[in-house]
Amino acid sequence: MYDYDVLYLGSGHGSFDGAGPLAASGQKVGIIESDMIGGTCPNYGCNAKITLDAPVVLQRLAERMRGVTAGQVMIDWGALVAHKNDVIAPLPAMIGGGLKKAGADIIQGHGRLTDAHTIEVDGKPYTAEKIVIATGRRPHRLAIPGDELAHDSRAFMDLTTLPQRLAIIGSGYISMEFATIANAAGAEVTVFMHHDEALRGFHQPFVKLVTADMTKRGITFVPSANVSALTQEAAGVAVHYGDGKTAIADWVLDATGRIPNADNIGLEAAGVDFNSRGIPVDDHLRTNVPNIYASGDVLDKPQGKLTPTATFESFYLFKLFSGQTSDAIQYPAIPSTVYTSPRIAKVGITPEEAKAAPDQYTIVRNHIPDDWYHQTDQETMGDSILIFDQTHHLVGATEVSAQAEDAINTLLPAVVFHYDQDQMWQLAHIFPSESAAAWHKIR
Ligand SMILES: Cc1cc2nc3c(=O)[nH]c(=O)nc-3n(C[C@H](O)[C@H](O)[C@H](O)COP(=O)(O)OP(=O)(O)OC[C@H]3O[C@@H](n4cnc5c(N)ncnc54)[C@H](O)[C@@H]3O)c2cc1C
Ligand SMILES: NC(=O)c1ccc[n+]([C@@H]2O[C@H](COP(=O)([O-])OP(=O)(O)OC[C@H]3O[C@@H](n4cnc5c(N)ncnc54)[C@H](O)[C@@H]3O)[C@@H](O)[C@H]2O)c1
């Protein structure tokens, strides 16, 4: 009766991680994509960004080992962006190839719903029993005079010449990561903050450690900047902020968040409710229209708009559609990292939540430079906080260190599966390693 069992709108992690297995299981699956297969994370987000960050890690390591090794690591921006392009270029074909091999059809073009079972692409209707909206988010743009003079994160990662003076508006993930990279590559960076705290979702004492280090490295933070306009001047772009103040930049990055791609895809025609935060869904990721589901960044849900969230949701839909579950979605603890240098990573119960319930939780702090493993490469900055419940199960962790993402990833199973002491001792980690260092703290 329909062309497809399941038709996905968008090909990011919110769809492809589940669409592939679903097609391989024998269901007729179609995926509509207007841009690059794989979506934001591989092409314009995680994978692209971490490639630009790789020499920053090397630079910091060389800096820590100065005296033991000689010489400074300088970043060649043009070569770095070319390297990033080389690394990223094969990903859409790799992801698309995997989907096709599994039996899915890829339909290239902008999709728009015309009713609850139909998506039109370039005037051609495609019908499906079930539809999954996985259209992600796009950059929020500040509504100020001259915002057309500002750029987004995608444009930043394609710059072939590094601007000498870079202004960044906002102090969330993208701002802090790109400020770190641009500063390490030699740009003068000014961060115009909305409030007086950066990275408000992370443990603030750790954020302060990182911003203090970024300041020492030459990055300027302007708290509660209230940027009111951008104007083009002979000397560059003028950023008007505060009480009549101005700063001149060669390039301005608007990093003030991302908004859902829900307003331009025909949801009204299909009767799907949405709002400025995204598409609301029930506990089975179903919209108000029973055969239409949504997944990934486009959701109006409190979970972090991150790749692990999108992957978990798309895999849950695979299990739901293939009859392996009928249960409501149960999110595990979803970890996250801001890839500054050092990184800040976290999972589960936060120190703030633990402090508010002292009869429920125990907080254990470990000063990273006291750990012999971190002394091998002379790491002198870093901290780690572990949170245990009253039966000594690990329920949360946050760390600021050069390898914080790996420290938190390695502890993740203990948090998600509530390992007890016996189970933890069953894990014999490779020694020496970041994992062994992280587990040493919890046993
Ligand atoms: C600069 C940056 C860095 C990031 N770094 C990280 C990180 O390090 N770690 C992390 O966990 N997360 C990171 N993220 C977030 C991560 O990229 C997203 O959470 C993830 O991509 C969400 O997947 P998604 O499938 O929901 O959306 P997307 O990956 O955005 O996919 C949606 C797709 O839908 C397509 N689409 C939209 N509308 C239509 C339409 N009408 N017709 C056809 N196609 C359409 C889009 O072109 C897009 O390809 C980063 C994001 C950015 C912007
Ligand atoms: N490492 C990662 O996992 C990673 C990296 C990059 C992006 N992301 C994802 O992408 C999303 C988007 O990143 P982002 O950094 O743009 O968003 P964000 O929500 O992390 O930060 C937005 C920043 O803009 C500020 N802001 C908001 N409105 C403003 C206004 N009107 N004027 C001035 N400042 C304003 C906020 O205070 C905040 O500092 C993240 O929330 C995250 O979900 C994740």
CA-based nearest residue to 177, from 191, 163, 165: 191
Range of the domain at 74: 4-138+259-321
Q: Would you say 297 and 140 are in contact if contact means Cβ atoms under 8 Å apart?
A: no
Residue 256 has pLDDT above 90, yes or no: yes
Residue 381 has pLDDT above 90, yes or no: yes
Q: How far apart are CA 179 and CA 167, in angstroms?
A: 9
Which residue, by CA, sits nearest to atom 20 of ligand 2? 172
CATH of residue 151's domain is 3.50.50.60
Q: Are residues 11 and 74 in the same domain?
A: yes
Q: Are residues 312 and 364 in the same domain?
A: no
Q: How far apart are CA 436 and CA 430, in angstroms?
A: 7
Q: Are residues 157 and 19 in the same domain?
A: no
**Which of 56, 135, 158, 176 for mutating ligand 1's site (highest number of atoms within 8 Å of CB)?**
135
Beta strand ranges found along 267-393 (DSSP E): 292-294, 336-338, 343-348, 361-367, 383-389
CATH of residue 432's domain is 3.30.390.30
Which amino acid would we find at residue 73? Answer: V
Q: Would you say 386 and 363 are in contact if contact means Cβ atoms under 8 Å apart?
A: yes
Domain boundary among 219, 240, 256: 256
Share of residues in the chain with pLDDT > 70 (%): 100
Residue 342 has pLDDT above 80, yes or no: yes
Q: Are residues 263 and 164 in the same domain?
A: no
Residues 6+ apart with CB under 8 A from 20: 98, 99, 102, 104
In a domain, 26, yes or no: yes
Residue 248 has pLDDT above 90, yes or no: yes
State the alpha helices, DSSP H only, in 217-274: 267-270
pLDDT band at 282 (very low <50, low <70, confident <90, very high): very high
Task: Measure the N-to-C terminal CA separation of the chain; round to a whole number of Å.
Answer: 58
Residue 443 has pLDDT above 80, yes or no: no
Q: Tokens standing for 442?
A: 């919890």
In a domain, 335, yes or no: no
Total of domains in the chain: 3
Q: Are residues 265 and 250 in the same domain?
A: no
Ligand located closest to 346 CA:
2
In a domain, 427, yes or no: yes
User: Can the peptide bond before residue 432 be classed as cis, meaning omega within 30 degrees of 0?
Assistant: yes
Ligand located closest to 112 CA:
1
- pLDDT reported for residue 252: 98
Domain boundary among 203, 231, 256: 256
In a domain, 133, yes or no: yes
Which residue, by CA, sits nearest to atom 12 of ligand 2? 257
ipTM at complex level: 0.98
Ligand 2 centroid from CA 214, angstroms: 18
- pLDDT reported for residue 103: 98
Q: Are residues 189 and 263 in the same domain?
A: no
In a domain, 328, yes or no: no
* Per-residue exposure over 331-360, b if at least 16 CB sit within 10 Å of its own CB, e if not: eeebbbbbbbbbbbbbbbbbbeebeeeeee
* Mean pLDDT on 102-119: 98
Angle between the 91-102 and 13-24 helix axes, to the nearest 10 degrees? 30
- pLDDT reported for residue 223: 98
* Mean pLDDT on 86-104: 98
Which amino acid would we find at residue 192? Answer: F
Q: How far apart are CA 59 and CA 75, in angstroms?
A: 8
* 421 vs 222 pLDDT, higher one: 222
Q: Are residues 166 and 196 in the same domain?
A: yes
Taking residue 275's Cβ as centre, other Cβ atoms within 10 Å add up to 11
DSSP states along 160-209 = SS--SEEEEE--SHHHHHHHHHHHHTT-EEEEE-SSS-SSTTS-HHHHHH
Q: Are residues 354 and 419 in the same domain?
A: yes
Q: Would you say 252 and 237 are in contact if contact means Cβ atoms under 8 Å apart?
A: yes
Q: Are residues 206 and 58 in the same domain?
A: no
Q: Would you say 232 and 146 are in contact if contact means Cβ atoms under 8 Å apart?
A: yes
In a domain, 131, yes or no: yes
- pLDDT reported for residue 221: 98
Ligand 1 centroid from CA 31, angstroms: 15
Q: Are residues 123 and 10 in the same domain?
A: yes
Ligand 2 centroid from CA 139, angstroms: 9
Q: Are residues 79 and 96 in the same domain?
A: yes
Tens digits of residue pLDDT in 300-318? 999 999 999 999 999 999 9
Q: Would you say 348 and 416 are in contact if contact means Cβ atoms under 8 Å apart?
A: no
Residues of each annotated binding site: 49, 111, 170-177, 257, 297
- pLDDT reported for residue 421: 86
Which residue, by CA, sits nearest to atom 14 of ligand 2? 257
In a domain, 334, yes or no: no
Tens digits of residue pLDDT in 404-429? 999 999 999 999 999 988 898 899 99
In a domain, 337, yes or no: no
Ligand located closest to 50 CA:
1
